[in-house]
Structures are given as structure tokens and as C-alpha cells.
């Protein structure tokens, strides 16, 4: 009994930390409608900066109470200033961009901060000092409990209270709430919105920085803090309801306690549990526990343009290049062949996601789930049933398609950010299963020795196999887009009202499209597994989903050829950058930012525009 009580207290302490980060995220979203992927990076920077201030320079010399707490506060303020600076330089330009572009831009910031942190602080973990006045433990019900944790438990409600006062008792807060409801009205009343938005980013970033800085006495500061916290913070914000502070607090408590007790009750599925709770909440309450349905989309939103074929010249050039490549393949070395086979896989992976995002108008932040499902299906068939590669490649699309049917049934009911988050949650569930079900999947060690059949074992043969299957897949997807199914998919995206009024069952169309896309992602995943000879949980992980998203968005969502160009550009860029510099994340991030800011229609869109201008 006592142990349970202490466990509950530990849950409250982590809930507080989670709330600090999630509150910033939700405040920023509420006002600017931007889902800030880089929020975890700000948290990490808060921790690193606090470490620097506390252990180096004048504050460290001062030492004692002010040395520590001064450092923590200074770190939070610095991160806040950085958030404001980011808002002024980058985010301000993309307020009117589609949601996924905003995610992309903030993800670019994640990459940049990763490398900057590596440059500034190195790869070693950093350990901070204990907090003055809060060292040691107190005795609670006969068990020792760290004082610092007790302090953290209090921080959450105090911050919630202060934020409440700010939002309800100050002019600034009232303006913020007004801007949350109706941006245009507020600016029509003569309020300088820009200042308001910058201030909100300062506030949100400072909260993230504070959250990070307060971790200093608890855990080591590492370069992995950003991704670990951002996923949890997303979960909290989505469960609570985007933009709702009390919701975020409630959800943080829920998740904190879930972690604390999940470890005791279901140690094997703690990771799955969090995302399962999120999925259940979103299915029962699509806008989170305390969230309101989003208002009508801003009036500036235009109807998507007609999908247009690439200019004729460019199309011929592409086909010519493809033919030349197939002919030249026998004269290429092993390394280029491996690379080209990977490209083929990525093209199919991106094209499958494009079906959902482009014609379907749905957002998926967890497409890797189906890529991984195909890979694991092929790998498990080979490992446990000794099924040959051919069988694996044949069954993988069906396995992934079934997973798509299952997950899609939940996901396609939602739209926008909520749909993106639910797909993310399901992908994380799939990842957790692969990671924790060690007997079957090999856990973190993955499945090894997943090699192709003898005839396809050579690099050249495997390249041709990949090119053929991926070509077939892309072709089938393109046919679907131009077939009645594709028309129906676009119909429900363009006008749900009209689609319903002419007898189109939007749910069924979206659901089937989701599963169809998942099947092709599964084929890509199975090919990838045989190409690498192994399957790892990373195949299902967030970075892989983001890869697919980046490829589609780089290429341009509203062009049929976009995903192909995007896959080549993205995979090529990553590969080249990784070869020439250690700092490839930094460069990739900068390139993505440049693309989002200057080519919002993607590469294919930009090319088509360029072609039209010349024509």
C-alpha cells in the first residue's frame, strides 16, 4: 500500500515535468495553430543551457542557491528569447501554410538544433548538481521520497495557476484568448498581432526551457531528450485537447500516473499503454478530454488546384533518365546499385503516402507503421515459417493492408492535426510491439539474416527486382488516382457535403484508400527488409514516418509525380549530405526550411510553375 502511494507521488512528479512542456506546446498551438515539433528541442536546449550556467561562468562561481536557481531561470529566459527569435524569422512566414508544412518546418528546426547542440556540447551526457535546499529525501509512509520530486509535484499546479491568472486576469491574456478564437477579429480591433504571436512563442518556449532546466538534478542531459519528450508532450496535448491548458494538466496527470503504475502492472507493455490510452480517448472524444472542435478553417484557404501532369518535356526527360538507368545498371558498381534499390523503395513508400495525403486530403504521421508491418511480415515468415522471399513479398502487402484496415478504421474518422496524431499513436503502438515482444520480433536486436532467394541475391538482380516491383506499385497507385476511386477520394476531400449528397460514403472511401496505401507501403517495407537483410523496430519509428512525409511534401502534395521527385530529392540529399559532412542534419534542416519557405508547392509544383511560365 505504502509503495503504491509513493509510486503515485512519483507519477505526479513526472506529470509536472510533462505539463510544463505540454503547456507551452498547447499555448503556442492555441494562438498560432502551429504544432511545434521543435518544442522538444527547446526543452533539450533548456537543459543544456541550465547545465552550462550552473557549472560554468559567473553563476557557477556564485554557487549556492542563486548559482543554481539563477541558472535555471536564466536558461528558461534564454530559450524563451530563442523561441521569440524563431517566431520572428521562420514561423511568422508560414502561418498561412498548410498544417503539414508547418510541421515540416518545425521538424527542420529539430534537425538543426540536434547538430547545433552536438557542436556546442558534444556527444557526452552531462550531469548537473543537486538542487540547493532540495537535496536528500523525506520520509513518507515509512518510505524515502526525494525532496526534489516533491518540489516538482508542486511546480505543475503552480504554473497552471499562474497561466490561468495570466490568461484571465491580464489584458495580454484576454487578447491572447481572443486571438485564439478569431485572429482576424482581433487584428480588426487594432491589436498588433505580430507582437502577440512573438510574445506567445516567448512564453511557450520559456515554459519548455524551464521544463528542461528543471530536469537537471533528476537525469542526465543528452541529445535524445528532444524526441523522447516531444512525443509524450504531443500525446498529452492531444489527449487533453489542443489548446486547452486544464486539459493538458489533466492529461499530464493521466500519463504520469499511467507510467508510474504501468511499470508495476504491465511492465511488458508500458510503451503501448500510453498510446492505447490516447487512441481510446480520441475515438471516444475526437477533440480530446477538454478540447473544443476546431473552428471553421481560415477563409484564405483555397481549393486545391487541379492535378496537372508534368510538362511534356520534363515527363519525357524523366522517362528517358529512367530507361537509361535501367540500361546502365549492369555497368554500375555494388554501392550505386544498393543506393538505387533504396531509391526505388522510397519512391514506392512516398507514392503510397501520397495517395492518402494528396487525393485523400488526410494527414498521416505514422505511415512507417505499414512500411514496418510489411517488413516484419516478410521477416517473420522467413524466420518462423522458413517462407522464401517470394512468399514474403507476396504476403507483405496483404499483412500491411490488414494493419491499415485496422488502424485506418479509427484514424480516418478524424481530420487535420488530430488525425495526424492518431496515426502517430498507432505507429508508436506498432513500434512498441516490435520493440517489446522480444521472443517473436527479437526486440531491439531485430530480425537478422532476412536475405533474398538465391536468384535475387546479387546486387544487380535485386536492383532489377526492386525497380520492377516498385514500378508496378507506383503504376497501380497512379491508376487508382485516375480511376473512379481516385475521383471519389478527391470528391470527399473537396466537399464532404456535396460528396454525401451524391451518395458517396466518405468514410468507406477514406478507409479503403488508407488500407490500399498501407498495402503498398508494406511492399516497400518488405523489399527494404530483403535489401538490408534485416528488420529493426526503427523501420516503424517516427523518423521513418517523417521521411515519407518529407518526401511527399518536398515533391508537392498536389502533383501525381511529386512523391517520385520528392523521394529522389530527399533520399539523395540525405545520402549525399551524410557522405560529405558530419553535420548533415543541420544542412538537411536548412534545406528543408528553404524549401518550405520558398517552394511551398513542392518540387514538382515549382517545376510545373516554371514550365507554365516558359510556355
Contacts with another protein by CB under 8 A lie at 303-307, 476, 479-480, 482-488, 490-491, 493-495, 497-505, 509, 512, 516, 558
Beta-sheet pairing, 447-448 with 143-146: unpaired
What minimum distance in Å lies between the beta carbon of 349 and another protein?
A: 19
Indicate the residue among 310 and 447 with the shorter CB distance to another protein: 310
Nearest-angstrom CA–CA distance, 74 and 201:
17
Nearer to another protein, 192 or 301 (CB): 301
Q: How is residue 408 written as a grid cell?
A: 485506418
**What's the CA gap between 599 and 588, in Å, rounded?**
15
Give residue 357's Cα distance to chain centre: 15
| Three-class secondary structure of residue 227 per DSSP | helix
- Grid coordinates representing 293 are 472542435
Nearer to another protein, 77 or 476 (CB): 476
- Closest by CA to 353, choosing from 524, 509, 469, 471, is 524
Quick one: 490 or 585, whose CB is closer to another protein? Answer: 490
The distance of closest approach from Cβ of residue 417 to another protein in the complex, given in angstroms and rounded to an integer, is 22
CB proximity list for 549: less than 8 A, separation 6 or greater: 100, 103, 104, 353, 364, 365, 367
Residue 138 backbone dihedrals phi, psi, to 5 degrees: -110, 165
CB 482, min distance to another protein, A: 5
Residues 45 and 348: their CA atoms lie apart, in Å, by 37
Nearer to another protein, 340 or 512 (CB): 512
Report the alpha-carbon distance of residue 496 to residue 514 in Å, rounded. 17
Cβ 471 to another protein shortest distance, Å:
17
Q: Which is nearer to another protein, 58 or 300 (CB)?
A: 300
User: Residue 457 or residue 482: which is nearer to another protein going by CB?
Assistant: 482
Task: Quote the CA–CA distance of 499 and 490 in Å, as a whole number.
Answer: 9
Residue closer to another protein (CB basis): 13 or 488: 488
Q: Specify the residue, 510 or 544, whose C-beta has the smaller distance to another protein.
A: 510
CB of 600 to another protein, least distance (A): 17
Residues 6+ apart with CB under 8 A from 447: 376, 379, 380, 382, 383, 441, 529, 534, 535
Contact between 104 and 570 under an 8 Å Cβ cutoff? The reply is no
| Nearer to another protein among residue 40 and residue 602 (C-beta) | 602
Report helix, strand or coil for 447.
strand
The CB-of-493 to another protein minimum distance in angstroms stands at 8
For another protein, the closer of residues 499 and 552 by Cβ is: 499
If DSSP states are collapsed to H, E and C, what string results for 481-532? HHCHHHHHHHHHHHCHHHHHHCCCCHHHHHHHHHHHHHHHHHHHHHHHHHHH
Partnered with residue 221 across adjacent β-strands are 126
How near is the Cβ of 546 to another protein at its closest, in Å?
Answer: 26
- What's the min distance (Å) between Cβ of 506 and another protein? 9
User: Which residue has cell 511529386?
Assistant: 562
Query: 144 or 315, CB closer to another protein?
Result: 315
We find the least distance from the C-beta atom of residue 517 to another protein, in angstroms, to be 12
Give least dist CB 318 to another protein, A: 20
55 phi, psi to nearest 5 deg? -110, -5
How many helical (H) and strand (E) elements, i.e. helices and strands, does the chain have? Answer: 26, 4
CA–CA separation, 159 and 156 (whole Å): 5
Closest approach, Cβ 306 to another protein, in A, equals 5
Q: Which residues of 570-604 are buried (b: 16+ CB within 10 A; e: fewer)?
A: bbebbeebeeeeebbbbbbbebbbebbeebbbbbb
Report H helices in 56-146.
57-62, 64-89, 99-121
Residue number with CB closer to another protein (355 or 549): 355
Tally of CB atoms within 10 A around 316: 11
CB of 305 to another protein, least distance (A): 7
* Residue 288 Cβ vs another protein, minimum distance, rounded to whole Å: 23
Q: Which of 368, 27, 441 is nearest to 201 (CA)?
A: 27
401: number of Cβ within 10 Å: 25
Amino acid at each position: 500500500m505504502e509503495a503504491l502511494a509513493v509510486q503515485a507521488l512519483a507519477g505526479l512528479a513526472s506529470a509536472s515535468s510533462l505539463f510544463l512542456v505540454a503547456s507551452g506546446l498547447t499555448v503556442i498551438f492555441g494562438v498560432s495553430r502551429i504544432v511545434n515539433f521543435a518544442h522538444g528541442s527547446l526543452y533539450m536546449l533548456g537543459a543544456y543551457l541550465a547545465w552550462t550556467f550552473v557549472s560554468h561562468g559567473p553563476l557557477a562561481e556564485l554557487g549556492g542557491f542563486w548559482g543554481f536557481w539563477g541558472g535555471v531561470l536564466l536558461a528558461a529566459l534564454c530559450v524563451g528569447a530563442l523561441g521569440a527569435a524563431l517566431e520572428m524569422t521562420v514561423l511568422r512566414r508560414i502561418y498561412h501554410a498548410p498544417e503539414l508544412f508547418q510541421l515540416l518546418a518545425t521538424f527542420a528546426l529539430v534537425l538543426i538544433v540536434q547538430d547545433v547542440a552536438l557542436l556546442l556540447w558534444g556527444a557526452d551526457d552531462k550531469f548537473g548538481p543537486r538542487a540547493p535546499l532540495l537535496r536528500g529525501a523525506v520520509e513518507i509512509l515509512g518510505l524515502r521520497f526525494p525532496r526534489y520530486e516533491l518540489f516538482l509535484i508542486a511546480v505543475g499546479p503552480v504554473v497552471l495557476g499562474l497561466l490561468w491568472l495570466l490568461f484571465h486576469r491580464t489584458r495580454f491574456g484576454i487578447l491572447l484568448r481572443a486571438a485564439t478564437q478569431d485572429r482576424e477579429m482581433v487584428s480588426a480591433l487594432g491589436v498588433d498581432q505580430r507582437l502577440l504571436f512573438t510574445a506567445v512563442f516567448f512564453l511557450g518556449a520559456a515554459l519548455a526551457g524551464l521544463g528542461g532546466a528543471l530536469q537537471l538534478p533528476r537525469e542526465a542531459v543528452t541529445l535524445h531528450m528532444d524526441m523522447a519528450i516531444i512525443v509524450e508532450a504531443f500525446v498529452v496535448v492531444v489527449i487533453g485537447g489542443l489548446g486547452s491548458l486544464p486539459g493538458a494538466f489533466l492529461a499530464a496527470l493521466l500519463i504520469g500516473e499511467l507510467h508510474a503504475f504501468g511499470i508495476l502492472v504491465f511492465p511488458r507493455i508500458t510503451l503501448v499503454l500510453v498510446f492505447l490510452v490516447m487512441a481510446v480517448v480520441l475515438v471516444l472524444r475526437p477533440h480530446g478530454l477538454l478540447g473544443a472542435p476546431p473552428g471553421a478553417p481560415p477563409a484564405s484557404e483555397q481549393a486545391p488546384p487541379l492535378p496537372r501532369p508534368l510538362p511534356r518535356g520534363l515527363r519525357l526527360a524523366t522517362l528517358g533518365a529512367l530507361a537509361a538507368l535501367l540500361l546502365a545498371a549492369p555497368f554500375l558498381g555494388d554501392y550505386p546499385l544498393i543506393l538505387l534499390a533504396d531509391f526505388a523503395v522510397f519512391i514506392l513508400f512516398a507514392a503510397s503516402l501520397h495517395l492518402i495525403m494528396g487525393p485523400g486530403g488526410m494527414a498521416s504521421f505514422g505511415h512507417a507503421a505499414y512500411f514496418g508491418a510489411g517488413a516484419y511480415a516478410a521477416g517473420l515468415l522467413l524466420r518462423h515459417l522458413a517462407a522464401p522471399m517470394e512468399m514474403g513479398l507476396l504476403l507483405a502487402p496483404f499483412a500491411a493492408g490488414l494493419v491499415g484496415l485496422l488502424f485506418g478504421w479509427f484514424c480516418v474518422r478524424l481530420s487535420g492535426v488530430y488525425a495526424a496524431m492518431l496515426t502517430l499513436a498507432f505507429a508508436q503502438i506498432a513500434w512498441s510491439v516490435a520493440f517489446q515482444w522480444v521472443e517473436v520480433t527479437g526486440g531491439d536486436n531485430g530480425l537478422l539474416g532476412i536475405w533474398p532467394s538465391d536468384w535475387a541475391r546479387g546486387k544487380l538482380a535485386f536492383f532489377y527486382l526492386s525497380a520492377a516491383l516498385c514500378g508496378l506499385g507506383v503504376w497501380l497507385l497512379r491508376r487508382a488516382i485516375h480511376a473512379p476511386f481516385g475521383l471519389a477520394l478527391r470528391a470527399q476531400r473537396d466537399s464532404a457535403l456535396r460528396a454525401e449528397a451524391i451518395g458517396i460514403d466518405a468514410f468507406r472511401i477514406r478507409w479503403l484508400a488508407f488500407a490500399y496505401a498501407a498495402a503498398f507501403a508494406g511492399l516497400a517495407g518488405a523489399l527494404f527488409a530483403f535489401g538490408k537483410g534485416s528488420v529493426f523496430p526503427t523501420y516503424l519509428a517516427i523518423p521513418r514516418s517523417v521521411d515519407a512525409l518529407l518526401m511527399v511534401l518536398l515533391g508537392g502534395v498536389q502533383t501525381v509525380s511529386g512523391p517520385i521527385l520528392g523521394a529522389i530529392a530527399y533520399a539523395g540529399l540525405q545520402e549525399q549530405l551524410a557522405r560529405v559532412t558530419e553535420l548533415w542534419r543541420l544542412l538537411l534542416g536548412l534545406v528543408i526550411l528553404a524549401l518550405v519557405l520558398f517552394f511551398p508547392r513542392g518540387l514538382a509544383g515549382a517545376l510545373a510553375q516554371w514550365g507554365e511560365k516558359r510556355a
